[in-house]
Amino acid sequence: MMQRWPIRTRSLFLGVAPCLFLFVTLLALGLFSRFQEMHEQIRQRGEFLVRQLAPASEYGVISGNTDILNNLLRNTLKESGVVFVEIRNPEGKALAKLDQPELQGEMDLQLFEAEILLEGISPDALALPGGAEPTQARPIGRVVLGMSNQPDRDKQWILVGYGLVVALFSLGLAVGWATVIARGLSRPIIDLSVAVKKLKSGLLGTRVTTTSGGEIGSLESDINALAQSLESAQVIERQYTENLIRTREAADQANRAKSQFLANMSHELRTPMNGTLGMLQLLQETEMTAMQDDYVTTAVDATEHLLTVINDILDFSKIDEGKLQLEQIYFDVSEIINRVCNSFQKEAGTRGLALRTEFINSPGPHEVLGDPTRVRQILINLIGNALKFTEAGHITVRCEWRLHSDEALELRLSVADTGVGIEPVRLDTIFLPFTQGDSSMARRHGGTGLGLAICKQLANLMAGSLSVTSTLGAGTRFELKVPMPYRRVANRVSISLTPPPQAKLSGMVLLAEDNTVNQLVVKGFLTRMGLGVELANDGKEAMERFRAQHFDLVIMDCQMPVMDGYEATAAIRNMELGNGRHVPIIALTAHAMQGDRERCLNAGMDDYLSKPVKKEDLHSTLQRWLKTQEEETTPLTLGSIPSAAKSFGAG
């Protein structure tokens, strides 16, 4: 409890309490000693009075002279504290008695008694004849004296009063002295407390005046030194914070510049690549010799490899910045595995390798919830990596399901090869960016070293894991483990791995594209699909052509001179407000960064394709929005049901 008191109160208490205790103790001892002394004085006086009164009363008792006895009693009553005095005969009958009525009520009387003796007579003293026997002293009465300590008690209370006065005076002196001491002790401590509170509130320029000596003086010096250190640390921290802010702003600016550079690089690389890959695809549809077909196929493979490198760089950048978002849709894992493996069968056969698939513990027809694009991307990277480093033998793609419940399973997807393997010292770094398992093989086969790093990060984003085991010279095995919700579906009809022939489309298309090569490529694709095409070199021209002519669909480049694709789309949508029509607009852009698709859709476009575009992807997208020539010639009947693929987002 005392710890909660102010320090001055505590100092005052500690200074006064011992003095007060000492004074009270001494006063109590003194009064007790004085009371004992006064009590002893009363006893001695009472005994003295009865011893004096007994022999003096002898004659009066013998002679029966009561006047003598009363006179003796009156003189005795004059003594202080005597309440009554009485002379009795041997039988106890009072011969004489006097008292003081005002003292009769006293309860603390002390009684003193003494016998009145008749002194014996010696024969020699009376000159009696020889042979006479001396007489012995015998009692002839008794003196009884009653005394009270009332007078002495009054003196005692006077002494107590004097003692209290002395004690209060001494206490006042003690309090005054303790106050001086407490103020001397508390003042510097209070100053220290105020200084510490100011330092705590951030006023680091606060200093304590060092006027005290001893331990308090040392404490004052230590607090001043601490304040100086804190002030210096604050200055350093402020400078560090300012430097950190400048560094962060520079990093943010560099990051924005990097993002802008990647966006520009994506656009600038994809635009000419769209022309190159498109022209090669158009060339493949012409009549060529076997040698020319090999040349074109090689050029297409090289272009697609370059596109893969660009996509890896952009994907890694998006993952590194935390901007990659995963889709959550139901899909069939087996179908994806079969399609991916089928796309690699030709390359594997050309190199004399066997590409095999195994499916274990399948729960029957089902679909898992996840991102099929990213699962396909991981599988393509792992199979491509296995083909790159396997010169003989086989590659096995194994899919195993491990059920955890009726709604959740763990997908285990592994790719094992019989290739060169990886040295044990390189296994710990195989998933790091820009790292190759074998530098000599990497130089022979090429690669950015980003594929496995992207696969690892994608596995982590899917709450899964990607691991590797390898034996040098015997092969490597990568295993992807991903927990996924799943649902059972009705028996599915197996999908043919051979794509069906593309159906001819029907309609008039407005192509807004400022690049001449891309105009030729896309127009060539559209013409071969059976579509009519009108060209516009910028957004403003596209808007004017749309106003003057009927179109069934618009393919819009986003980055064009005069008016870009976003502004042109907004203008077209405004024109449609009056006629109630809605013409599908498909973005065909070289921008492929995170958010570009959303920006296009938010601008009023209906679908999105990134450059370079393949003819198959373009046809699949257009088929969602346009009718085929067979549909144009088929009369509408009551049994006709619109295809779900016509709605946005299908496929």
- Asked if residue 555 has pLDDT above 80, the reply is yes
Rounded mean pLDDT, 354-378: 89
From 121-130, 223-232, 512-521, the region with the lowest mean pLDDT: 121-130
Q: Report percent pLDDT > 90 for the chain.
A: 19
From 13-17, 23-27, 350-354, 500-504, the region with the lowest mean pLDDT: 13-17
Rounded mean pLDDT, 307-315: 68
- C-alpha dist (Å) from residue 397 to 31, 69, 343, 416, 495: 110, 146, 13, 7, 19
Among 2-11, 27-36, 177-186, 237-246, top mean pLDDT goes to 237-246
Burial of residue 98 (CB within 10 Å: 0-12, 13-18, 19+) is: middle
Domain residue ranges in the chain: 1-120+136-203, 333-488, 505-646
> What are 160's two structure tokens?
């107590």
Positive/negative CA dihedral, 531, 535, 540, 546: negative
Average pLDDT of the chain? 78
Q: pLDDT (tens digit, 9 = 90+) per residue, 477-490?
A: 999 999 999 998 87
Angle at 409 between CA 403 and CA 415, to 5 degrees: 100
pLDDT of residue 319: 65
- The CATH class of 505-646 is alpha beta
Other CB atoms within 10 Å distance of the CB of residue 232: 11
Distant-in-sequence, close-in-space partners of 616: CB < 8 Å, separation ≥ 6: 499, 502
Positive/negative CA dihedral, 223, 226, 228, 230: negative
CATH architecture of structural domain 1-120+136-203: 2-Layer Sandwich (3.30)
Strands 505-506 and 532-536, by their bridges, are unpaired
CA distance 362 to 322: 34
CA distance 30 to 25: 9
Q: Answer whether 508's CB lies under 8 Å from 532's CB.
A: yes
| Residue 189 DSSP SS3 | helix
Q: Answer whether 135's CB lies under 8 Å from 172's CB.
A: no
Among 133-137, 191-195, 256-260, 340-344, top mean pLDDT goes to 340-344
pLDDT of residue 638: 39
CA distance 154 to 171: 25
Rounded mean pLDDT, 156-164: 71
pLDDT of residue 649: 36
Burial of residue 630 (CB within 10 Å: 0-12, 13-18, 19+) is: exposed
Confidence of residue 388 (pLDDT cuts 50, 70, 90): confident
Give me the residues paired with residue 160 across strands.
Answer: none
From 208-212, 408-412, 422-426, the region with the lowest mean pLDDT: 208-212
pLDDT of residue 639: 40
Residue whose structure tokens are 């958010």: 595
From 237-241, 403-407, 449-453, the region with the lowest mean pLDDT: 449-453
Rounded mean pLDDT, 9-20: 62
pLDDT of residue 81: 76
Among 56-65, 124-133, 340-349, top mean pLDDT goes to 340-349
- Asked if residue 515 has pLDDT above 60, the reply is yes
pLDDT of residue 17: 66
Q: Is the peptide bond before 101 cis (omega within 30 degrees of 0)?
A: no
φ/ψ of 362, rounded to 5, equals -65, 135
> Which one is predicted more confidently, 463 or 190?
463
Residue whose structure tokens are 């004849």: 129
CATH number for the region 333-488 comes to 3.30.565.10
| Residue 395 DSSP SS3 | strand
pLDDT of residue 377: 87
Q: Which amino acid is at 452?
A: L
Residue whose structure tokens are 């404490």: 219
Q: pLDDT (tens digit, 9 = 90+) per residue, 600-642?
A: 989 999 998 888 888 888 998 999 999 887 766 655 443 443 4
Q: Considering only CA atoms, which of 626, 625, 620 is closest in space to residue 651?
A: 620
Q: pLDDT (tens digit, 9 = 90+) per residue, 241-278?
A: 889 898 888 887 877 676 667 666 666 676 777 777 77
- Asked if residue 539 has pLDDT above 80, the reply is yes
CA 588 to chain centre: 46
- Asked if residue 372 has pLDDT above 80, the reply is yes
Burial of residue 370 (CB within 10 Å: 0-12, 13-18, 19+) is: buried
Q: pLDDT (tens digit, 9 = 90+) per residue, 98-140?
A: 887 766 555 567 888 888 888 765 555 455 555 556 656 778 8
Give me the residues paired with residue 609 across strands.
Answer: 588
